[in-house]
């Protein structure tokens, strides 16, 4: 009888804890060892255009940037990290005539500015 009570107590604790109470191995540490896939230089233009439109919609840059033209994409190293740097040109730009969009090699947005730095 004593063993049954102990067993039921342990089982009920596990059930009450629910699925969201697993033990974690550190702060957000992932055990995935997959390398991120790099996008091609050709793919950066469409991603950059998407971010230009997104920044206009968010009112971070003026509407004239919707008519900007894509100039180039280069791969640049900042510290130990390589990034794609895209340049868009807009002669009607208010804050600047060139917009630089920074992407991770995987295509994820990092930042945008008018200085290129």
* pLDDT tens, position by position, 53-78: 999 999 999 999 999 999 999 999 99
Query: Strands 109-113, 98-104: parallel, antiparallel or unpaired by DSSP?
Result: antiparallel
Highest mean pLDDT among 24-28, 83-87, 95-99: 83-87
Domains and CATH numbers, the chain: 41-113 (3.10.450)
Beta bridge partners of 78: 81
If one compares 67 and 22, the residue with the highest pLDDT of the two is: 67
Across 22-41, average pLDDT: 58
4 φ/ψ angles, rounded to the nearest 5 degrees: -65, -40
Cβ atoms of 47 and 107 closer than 8 Å: yes
């Amino acid at each position: 009888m004593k063993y049954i009570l102990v067993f039921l107590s342990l089982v009920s604790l596990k059930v009450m804890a629910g699925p969201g109470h697993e033990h974690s191995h550190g702060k957000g540490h992932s055990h995935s060892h997959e390398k991120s896939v790099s996008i091609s230089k050709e793919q950066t233009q469409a991603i950059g255009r998407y971010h230009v439109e997104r920044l206009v919609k968010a009112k971070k840059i003026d509407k004239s940037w919707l008519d900007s033209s894509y100039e180039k994409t280069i791969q640049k190293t900042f510290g130990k990290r390589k990034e794609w740097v895209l340049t868009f040109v807009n002669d009607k730009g208010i804050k600047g005539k060139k917009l630089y969009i920074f992407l991770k090699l995987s295509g994820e947005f990092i930042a945008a500015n008018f200085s290129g730095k």
